[in-house]
C-alpha cells in the first residue's frame, strides 16, 4: 500500500459531510484513507463536518479528521472550501440537502436509500440531471458494490460466465431489534426512516440484484411484518405523541415501520429473484448472502467471508464439477491493485475507500458515477412497489386442512 502523502500539485477538492454517526465515521475513514492508497486525479480535503449539537460535532471533527465544524447544513453548503457534499443523515433530510447542494454547484454523495419516497427520489434525480449538464456529479452510497468479490461477480456475469441468468437470491439478516425493550429510535419511525428493514437492508439487496443481473426488477410480490409494535420512547413526547401508551410506568411509542420484508421479483429477461430483509434473525449480526444461478454456472457470496466468491462452472464434466472458492485478493481483481499482496484480505471499511476513489475519478474525468441518482430512484421504486404489494397481500388466503 502506498503510504506517501498526496502530491502537492494535485487539484484539491474540498469535502463537507453532513452527519457524523455510524455512516459518517465510515465515510470519514474512506476520505482519510483513499489518497494514501490510490493514485488519484484530485486531492480530497476534509474541509468541514456538520451536526446539530455544536459540542458533539466539534468533538467528531477532531476524532474523524475534519478541519472545521458547522451546526447548519446550509452554512456547510455555502462554504467556499466545500466542493462536494457527503450526506450521512436520516432519509427524511436527504432530498432537501441534496437538491440544495446540487443547485449551489456542489457534487453530492448521498447515503442509501436515496430518499424516503419515490417523489423525493424523483426530485433528487431531476436535480442531479440538471447538475450533470453543469459538470457536477451525484452518486448514491451503495457501498457493497465496492466489495472486490462482488465487483468480480458483476464482471463474470457481464462476461457471460453464468450464461443465461435464471435465479437471483439475496438475504440480509440482522438481529439488533429482537429485544422488545430496544428503544424507539429514528430508524423505527416512518417519518424519519421511510421504512424499516425494507429500506435499511432491502435497499442494499435490491441494488445488488440489479447491479449483478445488469437489469432492473420489473415486478414484485411481497409480505412485510412488524413483530414488536410498541417500544420505549427515547425522547419526550414531542414528535412521537401518536400512539403513546403506559406499561409499568414506561412510556411507549408506536413502531411505524416494518421489522421484516420478504418478496419475490421478476426481471425483464425472465429471471426470477427472491429477497429477504429482517432485523429479527436471532444470531445474525450482518449476514448478507446471495446466489446467482445461470444456464452455464452459478456464483455465491457471503459477506462474513467477504474476500471469497464461490463459483460453479456448469460446462465442466459432472464427474469433476462443483463449487470452488475464488480467493479475491489478486492484483487483477477489482480495486486490489493498490492494496496488499495476494492472500491478505480486506474488510468492510475498505468499501468506503473504494467508493471515494470511484467518485473522485468520475469527478475528474466527467464520467457518470455509478450508482447514480437515477439508479437510486430505480431502487426506491422497487421499495415502493414492495410496500404496495405487501399492503394488498395483508389478508392471507386460508389453506384447507
pLDDT in tens, 96-150: 999 999 999 999 999 999 999 999 999 999 999 999 999 999 999 999 999 999 9
More confident of the two residues 242 and 115: 115
Q: Residue 129: what are its φ and ψ, rounded to 5°? A: -65, -40
Contact 207, 371 (CB under 8 A): yes
Q: What is the pLDDT of residue 236?
A: 39
CA atoms within 13 A on the CB side of 78: 6
The reported pTM is: 0.93
Q: What is the pLDDT of residue 245?
A: 52
Confidence band, pLDDT 50/70/90 cuts, at residue 4: very low
Q: Residue 349: what are its φ and ψ, rounded to 5°? A: -65, -25
Contact 210, 371 (CB under 8 A): no
Q: What is the pLDDT of residue 103?
A: 98
DSSP 294-331: ESSEEEEEEGGGTTEEEEEETTS-TTT---EEEE--ST
Averaged pLDDT, 8-15: 89
CATH number of 148-305+307-346: 3.30.360.10
Q: What is the mean pLDDT of the chain?
A: 94
Contact 21, 52 (CB under 8 A): no
Q: What is the pLDDT of residue 1?
A: 37
DSSP 186-199: GGG-HHHHSSSHII
Q: What's the CATH architecture for 12-143?
A: 3-Layer(aba) Sandwich (3.40)
Q: What is the pLDDT of residue 239?
A: 43
Locate the domains of the chain by residue range.
12-143, 148-305+307-346
User: Lowest-pLDDT range, 55-69, 224-238, 323-337?
Assistant: 224-238
Q: Over the stretch 195-221, which tens digit does the pLDDT of each residue have?
A: 999 999 999 999 999 999 999 999 999
The grid coordinates listed for 192 are 424519519
Confidence band, pLDDT 50/70/90 cuts, at residue 393: confident
Amino acid at each position: 500500500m502506498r503510504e506517501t502523502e498526496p502530491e502537492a500539485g494535485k487539484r484539491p477538492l474540498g469535502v463537507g459531510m453532513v452527519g457524523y454517526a455510524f455512516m459518517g465515521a465510515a465515510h470519514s475513514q474512506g476520505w482519510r484513507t483513499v489518497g494514501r492508497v490510490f493514485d488519484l486525479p484530485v486531492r480530497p480535503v476534509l474541509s468541514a463536518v456538520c451536526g446539530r449539537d455544536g459540542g458533539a460535532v466539534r468533538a467528531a471533527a477532531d476524532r474523524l479528521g475534519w478541519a472545521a465544524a458547522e451546526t447548519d447544513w446550509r452554512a456547510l453548503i455555502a462554504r467556499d472550501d466545500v466542493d462536494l457534499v457527503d450526506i450521512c443523515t436520516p432519509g427524511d433530510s436527504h432530498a432537501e440537502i441534496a437538491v440544495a447542494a446540487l443547485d449551489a454547484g456542489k457534487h453530492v454523495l448521498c447515503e442509501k436509500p436515496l430518499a424516503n419516497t419515490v417523489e423525493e427520489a424523483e426530485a433528487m434525480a431531476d436535480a442531479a440531471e440538471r447538475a450533470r449538464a453543469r459538470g457536477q456529479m451525484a452518486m448514491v452510497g451503495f457501498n457493497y458494490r465496492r466489495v472486490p468479490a462482488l465487483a468480480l461477480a458483476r464482471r463474470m456475469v457481464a462476461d457471460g460466465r453464468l450464461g443465461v441468468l435464471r435465479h437471483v437470491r439475496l438475504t440480509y439478516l440482522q438481529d439488533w431489534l429482537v429485544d422488545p425493550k430496544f428503544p424507539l429510535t429514528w430508524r423505527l419511525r416512518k417519518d424519519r426512516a421511510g421504512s424499516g428493514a425494507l429500506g435499511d437492508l432491502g435497499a442494499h439487496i435490491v441494488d445488488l440484484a440489479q447491479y449483478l443481473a445488469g437489469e432492473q426488477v420489473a415486478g414484485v410480490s411481497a409480505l412485510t411484518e412488524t413483530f414488536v409494535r410498541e417500544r420505549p420512547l427515547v425522547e419526550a413526547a414531542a414528535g412521537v405523541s401518536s400512539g403513546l401508551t403506559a406499561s409499568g410506568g414506561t412510556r411507549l411509542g408506536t413502531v411505524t415501520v416494518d421489522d421484516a420484508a420478504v418478496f419475490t421479483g421478476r426481471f425483464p429477461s425472465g429471471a426470477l429473484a427472491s429477497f429477504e430483509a429482517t432485523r429479527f434473525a436471532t444470531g445474525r449480526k450482518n449476514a448478507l448472502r446471495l446466489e446467482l444461478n445461470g444456464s452455464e454456472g452459478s456464483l455465491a457470496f457471503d459477506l462474513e467471508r467477504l474476500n471469497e466468491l464461490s463459483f460453479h462452472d456448469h460446462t465442466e464434466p459432472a464427474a469433476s464439477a462443483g463449487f470452488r472458492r475464488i480467493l479475491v485478493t489478486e492484483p487483477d481483481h477489482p480495486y486490489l491493485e493498490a492494496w496488499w499482496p495476494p492472500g491478505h484480505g480486506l474488510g468492510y471499511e475498505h468499501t468506503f475507500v473504494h467508493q471515494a476513489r470511484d467518485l473522485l475519478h468520475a469527478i475528474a474525468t466527467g464520467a457518470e458515477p455509478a450508482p447514480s441518482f437515477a439508479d437510486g430512484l430505480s431502487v426506491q421504486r422497487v421499495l415502493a412497489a414492495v410496500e404496495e404489494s405487501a399492503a394488498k397481500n395483508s389478508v392471507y388466503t386460508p389453506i384447507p386442512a
